[in-house]
Structure 1
Amino acid sequence: MPPADNQGSFLNRISIRRNQFSVVEAVNDQELEDLELLQKHVADRFSELLTTNDDSPAEEKSVRPGLQSIAWLRNLLDLFLSCEAEFKTVLIAGRDPSQFSKPPLDRLIPDLLERSVKALDVCNAITHGIDLIQHWQKLAQIVVTALRQSPVGEGQIRRAQKALTTLLTSMFFDDKENTNANFHLKWTDRTRSFGRRFSGAAALHGKDRSSGNNFRSFSWSVAKSWSAAKQIQNMTTNLVAPRGADASGPAVPVYIMNTILVFVMWALVAAIPCQERNGLSTHFQTPRQLGWAQPIISLQDKIGEDWKKKEKKGTLGLLEELQKMEKVANSLAEFTCSFGSPLDNEKAAEVEAQVAEMEEICRRMEEGLAPLQQQVREVFHRIVRSRSEILDVVDQITKISAPAPVSF
């Protein structure tokens, strides 16, 4: 994936236009043009994200990633980095710093800075979630290696069973809400059909259950009371579209950036295992009359509906590769439980196809998770750097407006 071209045509056009106007001429018109370019770019980039494999013509199926896949999330983070660079140019470059101390920026900038701090916590949680997925990928790879042997014997089946037991148990203990008694009963009922036949069946309720908890303790470094869903909800506080005179001023780019920031963090939490995601489907509302926001609203609707379906089942989340891994792992677990009876050609071909599918999932994770995690870190550092740059402007205003010391 090519890095975001933060010095591309958008910024160049802004620079050219600023050179074409004299300082005395319509500054407001210039700001409106810059804002119009930002809104168009946001709309175009999110429209690209909205078109996924599910909607694509057959000839484009191999090119466009599915919604909430690893590749799609990487495109989303690339979009964030690009839009964030353009937002800073519109907000800061060529603007009189004194505007930061006047309405509406004097109120909006502190909100943006506070929202950025909350986003940093989400980035940390997502980084740990990717660590956990990488462990699941390694367990799935063990299953693939064991069942790829020819012929498959009792030793390979036991190895695959152990890896599948640990994988499925760990998957169902990924969220804080999944540790309550009701969910444990649901999980026990679901696994009883094949758990009894595991050679290590007791491990599901003993040793391997603690193994699942060990995965949680290894991954989650945030406080036990921390909630990804509540963090997202807190980020939506005071997120109100500008009205009246503010609807065409500097409040607009701040609102656009806030909306993008919240949406990106919300989409990441919906896809990647995070602590306490219960209630995440109650996402923020964006006014439908805003032209640039239409593709964002469509994505919200799609992801929100998918999340509601998944949340009712108590499953992992929306990452495409994880959903497929869970489905194939359960099917292979059923197969390893019944191993020993003769396999007809149809069943053998089905198992071989499932192993091949799991192998493909592992390959996509192997290739995509490390770059995705690196992008999350890049987003983290970009937010920190931009926050510092805005604070520098605020500090300059404070120093200028401070009364001169009185000498005696």
Structure 2
Amino acid sequence: MPTTDNQGSFLNLISIRRNQVTAMDNDQELEDLELFQKNVADLFSGFLASAEEPSSAKSGVETIDSPVTARDNYIPPPPLLSISWFRNLLDAFLCCEAEFKAVLVSGRDPSQFTRPPLDRLIPDLLERSIKALDVCNAVTHGVELVRHWQKLAQIAVTALQQNPIGEGQVRRARKALTALLASTVFDVKENSNGNVHGKSAERSWSFGRRGGGGGATMNNKDPNGRNLSSFSWSVAKSWSSAKQIQAMSANLAAPRGGESTGLALPVYIISTILVFVMWALVAAIPCQERTGLATHLPLPKQLAWAQPLVSLQEKIGEEWKKKEKKGNAGLLEEVHRMEKLAQSLVEFADSFVFPMEEEKATAVAAQVKELAEICEKMEEGLGPLQQQVREVFHRIVRSRAEVLDVLDPVTKLPTPVPY
């Protein structure tokens, strides 16, 4: 056989093998993308199911059709917008973020990031992550403020649990509850950072230039040597959490055509989840300047993985519209209940006459017991919630750095990467 024929056969075999490897890689990528979408849909469908569960089931009320075994072993899901619900939400985000990073970065040819549409989407994601860091900081200080409210409520509970209740205990409880209610309607533009005294400083960015002296850091001690549990962070009066969320969602567009089956899809999915989680946190936790916070995000209703997210944001948006004092105390379920009880107990204190009637004493005792339970939930949940926000903060920092490390060896992107 002529040499040229041998060469032709050899090249044909290489070409066939290369096509087979490419097809296998494409099949694996499609399988990974489908699995990622399914996992996202399953995670948030669980949140939606708990939000739609009948109130009787959430409150533990028995139904006629409930079998004894099911009733005895049943653990109700946390109420929508409660501390426990947000802790589950942040866990879900961390799971999605870890899987996204595995799909996007692991074993990936870095040159793919320099070609459309990733050359545009990756810088957008990195910029969006910086804004998310600022939101995490704002939420962390908002949690500090909620803990301050919990301490004021606990003072009132301790005073009103005395038996019998005298004028001194009522005055002490009224003073604490009045301070609590006054703090929940504070001017968020002036009183931010979890600073109930209203002092505001110029902003120090949470994320500096890569390799520079700035960066995402935590300050664990103040000048007096006391341990602090929040980030070292301050904002200017002009900083707005609502505008920050708006900027994060401004260029959030679903991939079209061939992009909808490629790597553009997981980038879009994680961006959507990131914006949704930050939006929900800002709606629930007291943050600076929430006036104008959108009740709807640009989420694609036609995509299966996005449908539970769309339904959840509609439910949260409805709750936001119901609030009269938008942008102040927020939608956190425990805070909402605490406010209502505090208002009722202040009214009781204003009309207090010693000795109390038995019926009045019973009603007040029930309210104090409910407030004590809320304080206990806050005591147990706010610390871990704050720690989870920190974990999200540091996860975003690490993931951003990993993406930048992948981009470093290859040609610079046409669109400048925000450092």
With the length of structure 2 as denominator, give the TM-score of the two structures: 0.79
What is the Cα deviation at residue 144 of structure 1?
0.3
Partner residue in 1 for 2:197 = 214
Partner residue in 1 for 2:164 = 151
Contact 2:296-2:314 at 8 Å conserved across structures:
no
Contact 1:52-1:65 at 8 Å conserved across structures:
yes
Contact 2:200-2:235 at 8 Å conserved across structures:
no
50, 53, 56: which one pairs with 1:52?
Answer: 50
Contact 1:97-1:397 at 8 Å conserved across structures:
yes
* Counterparts of residues 193-208 of structure 1 (less than 5 Å): none
Contact 1:70-1:319 at 8 Å conserved across structures:
yes
Question: Higher mean Cα deviation, 24-33 or 385-394?
Answer: 24-33
Q: 1:169 to 1:93 in 2, by over 3 A?
A: same
Structure with greater helix percent: 1
- Deviations, residues 138-178 of structure 1 (Å, cap 9, x unaligned): 00000000000111112111111111111111111062299
Contact 2:255-2:268 at 8 Å conserved across structures:
yes
- Residue 35 (str. 1) matches residue 33 (str. 2): yes
- Residue 261 (str. 1) matches residue 274 (str. 2): yes
Question: Higher mean Cα deviation, 303-312 or 248-257?
Answer: 303-312
- Residue 358 (str. 1) matches residue 353 (str. 2): no
* Counterparts of residues 139-288 of structure 1 (less than 5 Å): 139-173=152-186, 175-176=188-189, 214=197, 221-288=234-301
- Count how many residue pairs are aligned between Structure 1 and Structure 2: 349
Contact 1:174-1:216 at 8 Å conserved across structures:
no
- Deviations, residues 76-100 of structure 1 (Å, cap 9, x unaligned): 0000000000000111112211100
Q: Please, which runs of 5 or more residues in structure 2 have no aligned partner? A: 1-19, 61-70, 202-229, 415-419
State the Cα RMSD in Å: 2.5
**In percent, how many aligned pairs have the same letter?**
67
* Counterparts of residues 33-182 of structure 1 (less than 5 Å): 33-52=31-50, 55-56=53-54, 57=57, 58=60, 59=71, 62-173=75-186, 175-176=188-189
Partner residue in 2 for 1:370 = 383
SS in 1 for 2:236: coil
Question: Higher mean Cα deviation, 113-122 or 219-228?
Answer: 219-228
What is the Cα deviation at residue 51 of structure 1?
2.1
Whose Rg is larger?
A: 2
What is the Cα deviation at residue 309 of structure 1?
1.4
Contact 1:174-1:274 at 8 Å conserved across structures:
no
Contact 1:278-1:311 at 8 Å conserved across structures:
no
Partner residue in 1 for 2:331 = 318
With the length of structure 1 as denominator, give the TM-score of the two structures: 0.81
What is the Cα deviation at residue 283 of structure 1?
3.2
Question: Higher mean Cα deviation, 55-64 or 24-33?
Answer: 55-64
Q: Please, which runs of 5 or more residues in structure 1 have no aligned partner? A: 1-21, 180-211, 402-408
What is the Cα deviation at residue 63 of structure 1?
2.7
Distance 1:62 1:174 in 2: 39
- Deviations, residues 235-278 of structure 1 (Å, cap 9, x unaligned): 01210000011011110000000000000000000110001111
